[in-house]
């Protein structure tokens, strides 16, 4: 029966992952799965996440020193907002291929690449920092020139 329970718990973790488009960390996943399976322990959730990563059912990325989990194992890159920390997916299948083509090193033979873009999400750009940004999306100098 223990085997059966383990399978059910892992399935619950996977179900939750498939239900979200965000890239939650293990603690968030634990909190959410626990609302459905109150008996599940933090250790079980962490163990199941690692197993799912090993089985390539989900992927794990490290952003700002923290592991985040992603149910989408397809080819895509991630954009991380420096202001609010939200993670936005950038899907362009040619992008990693083109990068690899341009990659040229006699010290290393690369066959895959994983890029994280850092910047500002649209929300932060328009609502929070909007007034301080110029058209290129760059922060204007806070100095008040000549006045």
Q: How far is the CB of 93 from Zn ion (least distance, A)?
A: 14
Q: How far is the CB of 103 from Zn ion (least distance, A)?
A: 22
Q: Between 8 and 75, whose beta carbon lies closer to Zn ion? A: 75
What count of Cα atoms within 13 Å lies in the side-chain half-sphere of residue 15? 11
Which listed range, 2-10, 24-32, 39-47, 116-124, lies at the site for Zn ion (CB under 5 A)? Answer: 116-124
Q: Which of 41, 83, 93, 114 binds Zn ion (CB under 5 A)?
A: 83
User: What backbone phi and psi angles, to 5 degrees, belong to 44?
Assistant: -65, -45
Q: Is residue 84 at the binding interface for Zn ion, with CB under 5 A as the rule?
A: yes
Pairing of the two strands 77-81 and 87-90: antiparallel
Rounded to an integer, what distance in angstroms lies between the CA atom of residue 27 and that of residue 85? 16
Residues in 61-80 at the binding interface with Zn ion, rule: CB under 5 A:
70, 72
The dihedral over CA atoms of 31, 32, 35, 39, expressed in degrees to the nearest 10, equals -60
User: Which residues of this protein are in contact with Zn ion, per CB under 5 A?
Assistant: 70, 72, 81, 83-84, 86, 89, 121, 124
């Amino acid at each position: 029966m223990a085997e059966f329970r383990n399978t059910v718990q892992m399935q619950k973790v996977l179900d939750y992952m498939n239900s979200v488009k965000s890239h939650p960390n293990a603690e968030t996943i634990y909190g959410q799965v626990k609302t459905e399976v109150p008996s599940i322990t933090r250790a079980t959730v962490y163990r199941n996440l690692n197993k799912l990563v090993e089985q390539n059912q989900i992927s794990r990325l490290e952003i700002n020193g923290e592991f985040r989990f992603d149910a989408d194992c397809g080819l895509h890159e991630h954009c991380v907002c420096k202001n609010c920390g939200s993670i936005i997916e950038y899907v362009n299948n040619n992008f990693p291929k083109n990068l690899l083509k341009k990659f040229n090193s006699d010290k290393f033979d690369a066959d895959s690449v994983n890029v994280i873009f850092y910047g500002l999400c649209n929300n932060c750009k328009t609502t929070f920092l909007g007034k301080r940004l110029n058209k290129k999306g760059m922060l204007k100098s806070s100095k008040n020139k000549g006045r």
